[in-house]
A and B are shown apart, each in its own frame.
Chain A
Amino acid sequence: MEKIPKIWRENLITYGMVIIAYAVMQILISFGLVSRLVQGLLVPLCIYVILAVSLNLTVGILGELSLGHAGFMCLGAFAGAFFSKVTVDAITFSPVRFFLAILIGAAVAGLFGFLIGMPVLRFRGDYLAIVTLAFGEIIKNVINALFVGLDSNGVHFSLSDRAALGLLDDGDVIINGAQGIIGTPQDSNFTVGVLLVLLTLFIVMNLIRSRDGRAIMSIRDNLIASESIGIHVTKYKLMAFSISAALAGVAGVLYSHNLNSVAASPRAFGYNMSIMILVFVVLGGIGNIRGSMIAAIVLTLLPEMLRGLDRYRMLIYAIVLIVMMLFNWSPKILEWRERHSLRELAGRLRGRSKV
């Protein structure tokens, strides 16, 4: 281990955690030891891990607060689902179709991240948070008002209602306003999810360790200083923001192909969802990739594991969330933890044995 540089070792631990978790789950599943609830949660867990890691790129590495992450996820989900629904008969080999859907979802979300980033990234801090929040809501509301149909004459658009599409009899409504897209093929599975998690980690961790990543972090640490040494601030901000958006789009594609329908409902893609992803990032540690992975997994599993508590479930969940935040980040508790840590204990024991 000594010969491997520390940075590599850190990265290998992160990849290793994902691969080991995957292997353990697969073994447990093959022995029939995993409940259906947890099997059903595996793909959502991958989705939320990708979302948390990608948002950490904006929040932790670029140092800008974004509250519109669910909006980019929504774009990816719809772009991917649209593609799959249209080509479900043309491309019957589902891995290829799903691969293309992921590329399209990432490209669309990344493109919108770029377009939105241009005006928005002129803001900083709270202002940026509010503007991204608004953009996330705009994306959701526009998709809710959008009707797209397909018939032998081509594609029809409308912003009023289904009847205004004027579809021929052979036509089919693809995006049905607030009802969204129904009937996407269920191409997502745990293996693909884990591969996408690894890809996300690969992209984000390599970016951080690259020259571009150091430029991005220098902007976070001191904007004026990095400008003064000739770093192109807008370019690097846009780079981080659109990569983050594209990865959220990937998570969206995974989401829309895990369920058979996708609708731009406030529950799935509203600002609550954006804030939920931000909670993963903050709880796991801003800038800490491994931490946001673990936080995403724990906070997604928790409400499901608490199902036995019936109506008190969401109350208990909220209380646990507060306790975890305090435990992880309250200065007094950090101090207490320092004093009662195992390392401290081991040190004390060692000290005593010397005496």
Chain B
Amino acid sequence: MFKKVVSLALIAVLSMGVLTACGNDGANDTVFKIGGIGPLTGGAAIYGIAVQNGAQIAVDEINAAGGIGGVLIEFNMQDDEHDAEKAVNAYNSLKDWGMKILMGTVTSRPCIAVGVHSKTDNLFQITPSASSADVVKDNDNIFQVCFNDPNQGIGSAQYIGQVGVTGNDGNLVSNVAVIYDSSDVYSSGIYERFVTEAANQPFSVVATEAFTEDSNTDFSVQLQKAKDADAQLIFLPIYYTEASLILAQAAAIDYFPVFFGCDGLDGILTVENFNTDLAEGVILLTPFVASSPDAKTQAFVSEYQRLHDEVPNQFAAGAYDSIYVIKAALEQSNAVPGMSVSDLGDALKLAVTQITYSGLTGENMTWLPSGEVNKAPKAMVIVNGIYVEL
């Protein structure tokens, strides 16, 4: 009987939660309510927390400077545990809160799931880092601040083919190997387009080796195959944790090709217990460089370090830019907080294609109505432990 009373009490408490969350529609006419969604717990939490921190810095800066046309921003970041279903829950929870604009989601798969709902609501959504091409496909309300995966793959192949990379033997690279994570959307997305584009370029792909998230610690087989195929360059469209292992294991078998990666490699110099000498000469196409002398970047990096005691990565920088892009679009469209979600969505969708924004992750960025960003990729090489622009 006691159990029944407790379960009834529990049901009552839960139904209170069911019923209370819908009375705050009128209160958001005085601020812009911007929601954020990303993994704050679980395996992908480092990306979500970086985005949360980066965005919060931008929000605080804007509010301290008097807001957008005198209107302050309220920012609320919700956890999606890097799961599509939880991301939709987070989205609905933010809608209950009164969100008018969404900065997120951080990762691609949840972003695709949330996109269906934000499209129905015609809610303006800008993602700092969900780079899959499927994120913006068929969704005219979603915009990306990051390069999408296919463009990174094509960009990398064109860079190696057109600009040319000098191998460690002094000759121009002609044999390329690829090691990628077949269980990861980001990695396989870049890999597919890289290989397709490589067919049009004056180098040949001599080995393509895959691993999965269940086998991401031992790369000796893949490296040996690349070595046997005489690859002078290894293309690594992967994240930096695995890349640091690959670099160490290649050195262990006396194999020193040029390593070439995308924005996922950013952060490789911060891996614990990693001999950063091995990263010398690594080339990466990345939009954000924490050591850049640029004043805006330096201000952001020092503020981030002051608050969180670590060097921000490209996720944090992308989120910072996303908030400022929202600000620029709001100013362009003369939007006011009292507008409905859909009206604001229409206004911002148009405005974002009219602005040109220069920030931490790119100069003179513009957006296509399809949602893709238009910016020049930056190729960096690591020399003496810092990124140098090529």
User: Do A and B interact with each other, yes or no?
Assistant: yes
- Give A contacts to B, CB under 8 Å: 28, 32-41, 44, 141, 144-145, 160-163, 177-180, 182, 186, 255, 258-261, 263, 265-268, 294, 298, 301-302, 304-305, 307, 311, 313-314, 327-328, 337, 340-343
Residues on A with C-beta less than 8 A from B93 are 36-37, 304, 307
- Residue total for B at the interface (Cβ-Cβ under 8 A): 54
B182 within 8 A of A: yes
Distance of A341 Cα from B91 Cα, bound (Å): 42
Contacts A263-B109, A267-B81, A301-B14: A311 and B92 contacting too (C-beta < 8 A)?
Answer: no
A76 to chain B, nearest CB (A): 15
Find out whether the CB atom of A305 lies under 8 angstroms from the CB atom of B14: yes
* Chain B contacts with A in 185-231, Cβ cutoff 8 A: 185, 188-189, 191-192, 195-196, 210, 212-214
One of A39, A141, A258 near B214 (C-beta < 8 A): A141
Residues on A with C-beta less than 8 A from B84 are 259, 261, 263, 268
B52 to chain A, nearest CB (A): 10
Q: Looking across the interface, which residue of chain B has its beta carbon closest to that of A176?
A: B188
Residues on A with C-beta less than 8 A from B2 are 337, 340-342
One of A28, A177, A343 near B19 (C-beta < 8 A): A28
B342 to chain A, nearest CB (A): 15
Q: Is the interface of B mostly helix, strand, loop or mixed?
A: helix
Distance of A341 Cα from B18 Cα, bound (Å): 29
Find out whether the CB atom of B112 lies under 8 angstroms from the CB atom of A260: yes
Distance of A97 Cα from B333 Cα, bound (Å): 43
Find out whether the CB atom of A177 lies under 8 angstroms from the CB atom of B182: yes
Find out whether the CB atom of B109 lies under 8 angstroms from the CB atom of A265: yes
B162 to chain A, nearest CB (A): 22
Distance of A213 Cα from B207 Cα, bound (Å): 56
Distance of A259 Cα from B87 Cα, bound (Å): 10
Residues on B with C-beta less than 8 A from A340 are 2
One of A44, A178, A259 near B184 (C-beta < 8 A): A178
Contacts A144-B183, A178-B183, A179-B188: A40 and B18 contacting too (C-beta < 8 A)?
Answer: no
B12 within 8 A of A: no
Distance of A260 Cα from B91 Cα, bound (Å): 15
Distance of A302 Cα from B10 Cα, bound (Å): 10
B69 within 8 A of A: no
**Interchain residue pairs with CB less than 8 A apart (30):** A28-B18, A35-B19, A36-B95, A38-B17, A39-B92, A144-B182, A160-B210, A162-B192, A177-B183, A178-B182, A178-B184, A178-B185, A179-B132, A182-B112, A259-B84, A260-B113, A261-B84, A261-B109, A263-B84, A263-B185, A265-B109, A267-B82, A301-B17, A305-B17, A307-B78, A313-B79, A341-B1, A341-B2, A342-B2, A342-B5
* Chain B contacts with A in 4-60, Cβ cutoff 8 A: 4-7, 10, 14, 17-22, 40-42
Residues on B with C-beta less than 8 A from A160 are 210
* Chain B contacts with A in 171-187, Cβ cutoff 8 A: 182-185
Find out whether the CB atom of A313 lies under 8 angstroms from the CB atom of B85: no
B203 to chain A, nearest CB (A): 17
